[in-house]
Homo-oligomer: A and B are copies of this chain.
């Protein structure tokens, strides 16, 4: 180790300017292009939010109508892509498949690499749109079912549930699924978004950049927290076990999943919305078990933290897994759904990076040996 100081993981280091996302951690607010997430969830669907992220402003009716038609016309998968999905080994993770498919897709779409934000990436939205079709097709094949062609009349979220099950989801379920995509569409310079920007900075394609970002999101330190929350919920089993479980876990200095966030000092605004959806779905199912377990965990956790004088709140992952489960979605799709949503944000960052680009080339601090001589192999 050397004595030269630097910031590991580039913590606190500014990597670029951005106008896409503002996380106001102090006040528990999240903004996309200046609009609060609450406002967007209330008034827009995922396709409209995608337009906002890619163009920097909300569309008028004419703009939105043509954008939406274009997105919906891009939903279906070509035969070779479907074969890739079918042949992907069964025991492997769909994130590996997603990363591969997005890079492969670029071969099937007419696109240019342009050193300009005014490239045609906004017109070739397959890398955003088809992710949901790939995820649904993966699940269909894996469970021994056939491919379901996407609908053009459903919202992005509703269509995803339709392609999973073959049945149109209820109005509530479709809206919640679509809103979940909005809530995960963007969140600043996390590792996957930063990956997309680094790849974009070489003036590679949008597909290359988004494929790379999927690889980063697959990492266990990045995606996957809501899977772990549901493992916790399953372990707890009943609401009455929750407080004891939390106290034991904290006594043993282990982590309670879905609690706290690097940036939010107040409650994660996405968690507030997710909690409400979980309540609505629990009510519709007439089954409040997940909801009550989670609320008991939250309560017990808060009590313990208040003793220490440092309040820690649930983040979006705390409630999203239970929401997905009540929507009938298997756990292995949780991180792929994150990718489906975040693809819009990644593409927005790719475009922004190109507007005022410099290739990322940080320095390494050399700590290795110097001037060694190769000894012939038979003398080693």
CB distance from A39 to the nearest CB of B (A): 5
Chain B residues, CB < 8 A from A43: 374, 376-377
Task: Give the docked Cα–Cα distance between A372 and B34 (Å).
Answer: 5
CB of A202 within 8 A of chain B? yes
CB of A225 within 8 A of chain B? no
Does the CB pair B195–A219 fall under 8 Å? no
CB of A84 within 8 A of chain B? yes
The B-contacting residues of A in range 357-377, CB under 8 angstroms, are 358-377
Does the CB pair B369–A33 fall under 8 Å? yes
Residue of chain B at shortest CB distance from A10: B362
Task: Give the docked Cα–Cα distance between A188 and B366 (Å).
Answer: 9
Does the CB pair B361–A18 fall under 8 Å? no
- Number of A residues, CB within 8 Å of B: 109
The B-contacting residues of A in range 194-244, CB under 8 angstroms, are 194-195, 198-205, 207-209, 211-222
Does the CB pair A367–B18 fall under 8 Å? yes
Contact with A15, one of B14, B84, B107, B364 (Cβ below 8 angstroms): B364
CB of A171 within 8 A of chain B? no
Chain B residues, CB < 8 A from A363: 12-15, 189
CB of A192 within 8 A of chain B? yes
Task: Give the docked Cα–Cα distance between A31 and B16 (Å).
Answer: 31
Does the CB pair A364–B188 fall under 8 Å? yes
Does the CB pair A87–B80 fall under 8 Å? yes
Residue of chain B at shortest CB distance from A209: B215
Does the CB pair B33–A368 fall under 8 Å? yes
CB of A101 within 8 A of chain B? yes
Task: Give the docked Cα–Cα distance between A33 and B367 (Å).
Answer: 10
Does the CB pair B205–A96 fall under 8 Å? yes
CB of A8 within 8 A of chain B? yes
Task: Give the docked Cα–Cα distance between A97 and B215 (Å).
Answer: 16
Chain B residues, CB < 8 A from A365: 14, 16-18
Chain B residues, CB < 8 A from A83: 83, 87
CB of A312 within 8 A of chain B? no
Chain B residues, CB < 8 A from A103: 96-97, 99-100, 103, 211, 215
Chain B residues, CB < 8 A from A369: 19, 33-34
CB of A170 within 8 A of chain B? no
Does the CB pair A377–B14 fall under 8 Å? no
- Comparing A55-63, A128-136, A295-303, the segment that makes contact with chain B is A55-63
CB of A253 within 8 A of chain B? no
Does the CB pair A17–B360 fall under 8 Å? no
Task: Give the docked Cα–Cα distance between A61 and B213 (Å).
Answer: 40
Listed by A's residue number, 9 A-B pairs whose Cβ atoms lie within 8 Å are: A10-B361, A10-B362, A22-B370, A60-B377, A95-B208, A96-B103, A99-B212, A189-B363, A212-B216
Binding site for B on A (CB under 8 A): 1-2, 4, 6, 8-22, 31, 33-36, 39-40, 42-44, 48, 58-61, 64, 80, 83-84, 87-89, 92, 95-97, 99-104, 106-108, 113, 115, 188-192, 194-195, 198-205, 207-209, 211-222, 262, 358-378, 380
